[in-house]
């Protein structure tokens, strides 16, 4: 059995060590450009690839869809603000 996933802090790309930290993630759409700061992520020490948890990606996707509907050309937001913008989630 080799079903162990998501527990080890090792980079799937290069096998380097992953360190918990924050990332700045740009999202580019045809009609808008969104930059999200302070996203919790694991960062590879070797190749600097960033990995976000599935829950984090879900949260980002939800808010990105809202931002796209606003038709703002460029948005710069921080992840903690996203959490505050989504009162329907969690509680
Ligand atoms: Zn790596």
Residue 2 lies in a domain: no
CATH number of the CATH domain containing 27: 3.10.20.860
> How far does residue 18's CA lie from ligand 1's centre (Å)?
8
Residues 6+ apart with CB under 8 A from 9: 17, 18, 19, 20, 42
> How far does residue 19's CA lie from ligand 1's centre (Å)?
11
Burial of 90 (C-beta count, 10 Å sphere; 0-12/13-18/19+):
exposed
Residue 6 lies in a domain: no
Place of tokens 């959490």: 83
Q: What total number of domains does the chain contain? A: 1
> How far does residue 17's CA lie from ligand 1's centre (Å)?
7
For 71-81, how does the pLDDT look when each residue is reduced to its tens digit (9 = 90+)? 788 989 999 98
Residue 22 lies in a domain: yes
Residue 69 lies in a domain: yes
Confidence of residue 88 (pLDDT cuts 50, 70, 90): low
Residue 3 lies in a domain: no
pTM of the model: 0.72
Q: Which domain holds residue 74?
A: 18-81
> How far does residue 52's CA lie from ligand 1's centre (Å)?
14
> How far does residue 14's CA lie from ligand 1's centre (Å)?
4
Q: By three-state DSSP, how is residue 28 classified?
A: strand
Burial of 65 (C-beta count, 10 Å sphere; 0-12/13-18/19+):
exposed
Residue 77 lies in a domain: yes
């Amino acid at each position: 059995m080799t079903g162990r996933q998501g527990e080890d802090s090792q980079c799937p790309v290069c096998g380097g060590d992953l360190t918990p930290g924050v990332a700045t993630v740009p999202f580019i759409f045809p009609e808008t450009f969104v930059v999200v700061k302070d996203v919790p992520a694991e960062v590879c020490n070797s190749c600097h690839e960033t990995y976000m948890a599935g829950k984090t990606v879900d949260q980002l996707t939800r808010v990105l869809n809202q931002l796209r509907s606003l038709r703002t050309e460029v948005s710069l937001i921080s992840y903690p603000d996203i959490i505050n913008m989504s009162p329907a989630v969690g509680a």
